[in-house]
Every structure is written in C-alpha cells, then in structure tokens.
Amino acid sequence: MAETASVGFRSERGPILIALMLSTGLIAIDATILATAVPSVVADLGGFAQFPWLFSIYLLAQAVSTPVYAKLADTIGRKPLMLFGVGLFLVGSVLCGFAWDMGSLIVFRAIQGLGAGAVMPISVTIAGDIYTVRERAKAQGYLASVWAMSSVVGPTLGGVFSEYLSWRWIFFVNIPLCLIAAWMLFRNYHERLEPRRHRIDVAGASTLTVGLTLVILGLLEGGQAWAWLSWQSAVAFIGGGLLLIVFGFIERRAAEPVLPIWIFQRRLILTTSLIALGIGAALIGLTAYVPTFLETSAGVTPLVSGLAVAALTLGWPIAASQSGRLYLRIGFRSTAFIGLSITVAGSAMLYLFAAWPSAVLSATACFVVGLGMGLVATPTLIAAQSSVPWNERGVVTGTNMFTRSIGSAIGAAVFGAVGNGIIARSGLGSESPEAIQQAASAVFLAVMVAAVLSLLVAIAMPQARVDDVELPAQQPAPTE
C-alpha cells in the first residue's frame, strides 16, 4: 500500500488530478446548480411548460455522446478529446448565459451536455491510465468527493446567484473554471500515441446516437409529455429499436467499431456494466423522490430535504476512497457483494422509514446507501478498466458510465410510472401528502428491488483479484 502515498495533490501527478477534479466538478455542479434557479429563469424567459427540458436535454445529450467519445479516446487519444469536451462545455455555458428565450436555452443546454459527454468518461479513463490498480481506489475517491461537494455547493450557488446577481451567472461562473482546467491539462498531461491512421466508424456512431436518442427520449418523456401508448412513444421506441439493430450489424463489419461486440462477450465487463445499470436506476430513484417525499410528508424545507439526499453523496466518497483496502484483500466480486448488500439494507431502511416521515431517518438511510454504492461503483469500474489494455480502456470506461446513464433514464421512467400509478389509484390527488407518501414508499421498494437484482448480478461476476486482472499498460502514462 506504499504506492498510494503518491496519490495526492503534492505528488508529480497532483496537477493532473486537480485538473480532473475541476473538470468533473464543472459537470457535477451543473447537474444541480440550475434546480434552485428555475423560478428565476422562468420569470425572466417564460416557457414554464418547457423548463423540464432543461434537464432532460442535458441528460440525453450526455448519455448518447458518451460511447462515441469513449471510443475516440482510444483511437486519437484522451487529451485532445478531453480538451474538446471542456471547450464545448465552455461554449455551451457562454451561450446559455446569453439565452434570450426558453427555446434557445434548451438548445444551448444540449451543447453543454455534449461537452459533458466527453468530460465524464475521459476524466475517469485518464485516472485509470496514470494510476496503478492499487492506487486507483484512492484517486477515484478524490473524483467521487467532487460529487459530494457539488451536491451541497451547487444548489447553494444557484440560490445565491438567482437572489443576489442573476441566474445567468450560473453559466458564466463556468468560464474561468473551464479555462483553468483546460490549461492545467494542457500543461501537465502528456500522452505518447502510436502514429497510425484510424478509420472512424461514422456509420456506427451516427446510428447509435440517433437510435439511443429516440429510445432515451421515449423513456424520459413517456407518460409525461405524451402517453405511453401514443404514436410518439411508438415512433421513439420502434424507430430507436430498429436503428439499434442496424447498429449491431454495422459494428460486426466495422474496422474500428465505436462499441465493439466483444464488450458484451466478456463476463467481467458485462456484469460490471449491468451493476452500473442498477446503480444508475437506484440513484435517480432516491435523488428524485426523497426530497419530494420529505417536503410533502414531513413538511421540511427544500434545503433540509436537499441535505438529506446529500448524505448519500457524502457516504459514497468515504467508502470509495477506502474500497482499495478491501478489494486488495478479498477481490473485486466480494467487495461488490458487500457493497450491494449494504445498498439493499439502506434502501430497505428507507422503505421502512417511509411510514414515519423524518429527515433524520431518511438521511441516515441515504448515507447507508451511499456507503454501499461507494463499495460497488469504484471497485467494479476499476475491475473492468484493469482487465483490458490501454487501447481498450476508454471504450470499457465509457460503456460502464453509459450504462449508468441508461439506468438513470430507465429508472426515471419506471419509478415515475410506479409513483404516478399509486397516486392515481389512491384517488387523493397529486398534492395529497398521504398519496405522495404512498407513492414514495412504492418507489423506495422498487429501488430496493433494483439493488437486489444488482446483488444477484454481482454473484455472477468472475472471482478475480487484482493480480488476476491487471494487465501491463501498452500505453505509458507520462506526466512530464
């Protein structure tokens, strides 16, 4: 464990780690900072009925672009794609700050999402490149801590800017942060690529992007913007499904496929991706329903309900930073099994506590869930990364993060259908505290089911220890 001493801000790789944390922080804060500013945005630009698209379009653009960026990172390198993602996010932020109506703001949020789609997977991939598998848990713990801080800082900054300055500063504040992150990466991160020509899988990337866009759009908007059994849903799901089938045929013949078929033929990568799917679903279920449940049933303020959810993101980095000690001793599968068992216990607590609405009890349960997820998300990602060489690590990392995004999209649709169905059957109305309490209880039960299914998948993971999966890097990780 002596190697982990070199993981920190004062080590020679410290500036790269800081740049990665800053880049990740941009994405993490932007996911939460806008929530508290929505009333100010609507008051200024109008378009109240359209404001949910500010979140949906960002999630959609980020999810569908992640696999494409991940593959490109394995062909043309991490550094140019990372700088491109930060730059695109910067452009989107500036445009958002100058938006003149709700429609333009939605379009510019899509540009931000496309930038975020590059930053998230490639920052984790770079961490996988420059740190050994024994150091990686601590490094990933630093990155995970960014989300914990952002869950508290984001909504607070959003409220401060909206009340004392202008909601536009929510986006303008990204300008200096993007410039600092890009400069630090440019100066400190260097990679040596083998000079050879690559054949970009344009047909595969285009088909995958459009197909996923239709499917995720159907999941995000079905039952909300339109009925599940409407023609819009039929177009989204049938059209998207057909395009994904075509994508599968294209990938079989592509010289350098954007999402290689072998990804789904390796049991370690397949199982860790399915676990990421479950984590994404559980995460969206808690973050979407715990605040509404507490504000309506327990009568707490939005700030208190937000802090209850923040307990989840506080437990996550604590466990993630210590997970290396565990998987180095007992292996990746056993660590994931323990983490998912804790996640099941935490979600069961949340379900049982729903009968007695309390911010303290809910925060305690969320903290337990966060501890469990920290022991699952980081070790399973590191196991997948460590089982492949440098030129495959980007696509493996991107697939893991992509499936987590898909899990969130599916979870939002399924949990929304469950909650709305419970409220409709109660006959008490959507504003009734009793109806919302019943709906939230059902959603928490569904989250527990997702955690149990993930636990079963963990049992199917290959029993591999660090020395069994870590491959020698084909690409050095210079930090000169």
The model's pLDDT over 446-471, given as tens digits with 9 standing for 90+, comes to: 999 999 999 999 998 887 655 555 54
Domain boundary among 230, 255, 280: 255
CB 99 within 8 A of CB 422: no
Residue ranges making up the domain that contains 354: 262-480
Judgement on whether residues 321 and 391 belong to the same structural domain of the protein: yes
Q: Mean pLDDT in the chain? A: 80
128, 64: one domain = yes
Residue 123 in any domain: the answer is: yes
Domain end, chosen from 190, 211, 246, is at 190
Predicted pLDDT at 480:
40
297 occurs within a structural domain: yes
45 with 185, same domain?
Answer: yes
- 213 and 345 both lie in a single domain: no
Residue 331 in any domain: the answer is yes
pLDDT-derived band at 11 (thresholds 50, 70, 90) equals low
CB 320 within 8 A of CB 140: yes
Query: With pLDDT > 90 as the criterion, what percentage of the chain qualifies?
Result: 16
- For residue 291, being part of any structural domain is answered with yes
| CATH code: domain of residue 283 | 1.20.1250.20
More confident residue, 313 or 239: 239
Give Cβ neighbours of residue 49 (< 8 Å, ≥ 6 apart).
none
Same domain, 97 and 209: no
How far is Cα 414 from Cα 281, in angstroms, rounded to an integer? 9
Pairwise pLDDT comparison (480 vs 384), residue with the higher score: 384
Query: Do the domain assignments include residue 196?
Result: no
Residues 339 and 436 reside in one and the same domain = yes
C-alpha distances (whole Å) from 406 to each of 110, 278, 458, 477 are 17, 9, 19, 31
Which residue has better confidence, 28 or 248?
248
215 with 278, same domain: the answer is no
Determine the pLDDT at residue 36: 61
Whether residue 234 is contained in a domain is answered as yes
Q: How many domains does the chain have?
A: 3
pTM of the model: 0.76
Contact 110, 213 (CB under 8 A): no
- If one counts every other C-beta atom within 10 angstroms of the C-beta of residue 423, the result is 20
CA distances from 213 to 61, 102, 227, 364, 394 (A): 8, 21, 18, 37, 22
Question: In angstroms, rounded to a whole number, what is the distance separating the alpha carbons of residues 259 and 246?
Answer: 13
* pLDDT tens digits for range 61-108: 887 788 888 777 777 788 888 899 999 999 999 999 999 888 899 899
The three-class DSSP label of residue 324 is helix
State whether 329 and 185 are in the same domain: no
Determine, yes or no, domain membership for 115.
yes
Same domain, yes or no: 413 and 443 = yes
Looking at the structure, tell me whether residues 231 and 90 fall in a common domain. no
Do residue 145 and residue 183 come from a single domain? yes
Same domain flag for 328 and 250: no
Point out the domain boundary residue: 190, 214, 247: 190
Instruction: Pick 476 or 223 by higher pLDDT.
Output: 223
Has residue 247 been placed in a domain?
Answer: yes
